[in-house]
Amino acid sequence: MVLSGYILLGFMGMEVISYCVHRWLFHGVLWKIHESHHTPNHRLFEMNDVFSFVFAGISMWLIMTGADTMFSSPAFGIGAGIALYGLLYFIIHDLFTHKRFMPFKSDNWFMKLVRRAHQRHHQDAGKKGHEPYGLFLFPYDRYPERKRNRQD
């Protein structure tokens, strides 16, 4: 497999892992940490951010492990895919959806769709939560932004 395939594998794998971890761990045994995200206090740092540091650490470790043979290394490519996922997560989830740090505005139909889906997840501040648990994996047909505007 070439580097781009490993990057795609890391990115897509991260979405599946994120979905599972969010649904069954964050809204389960790790709820006391994740709860800070569902009851935001508008601080720069919330306890839930610990999870981002863990995933970033895994990504950096994989990238460094495969750096010597980056173009043929599964570790480098998967780590880069995880990093790409983390970057998009930060932009779409933190900056655009939750307006943390420095609010980011966009009229992009896809970003609006993801924001709307994530807002559905936050309708209940309790542990039960709502679908969707993934950032990109959700039933797109349930949200009004699913149709692309001609202006986009």
pLDDT tens, position by position, 58-97: 999 999 999 988 778 899 999 999 999 999 999 888 888 8
The structure's pTM equals 0.85
- Would you say residue 152 lies in a domain? no
Name the token pair of 23: 């649904």
30 has a pLDDT exceeding 70: yes
Name the token pair of 19: 């979905």
- Would you say residue 31 lies in a domain? yes
**Total number of domains in the chain:** 1
List helix spans (H) across 74-147: 74-89, 109-121
**135 vs 118: CA distance, rounded Å:** 7
- Would you say residue 151 lies in a domain? no
Structural domain range at position 14? 3-146
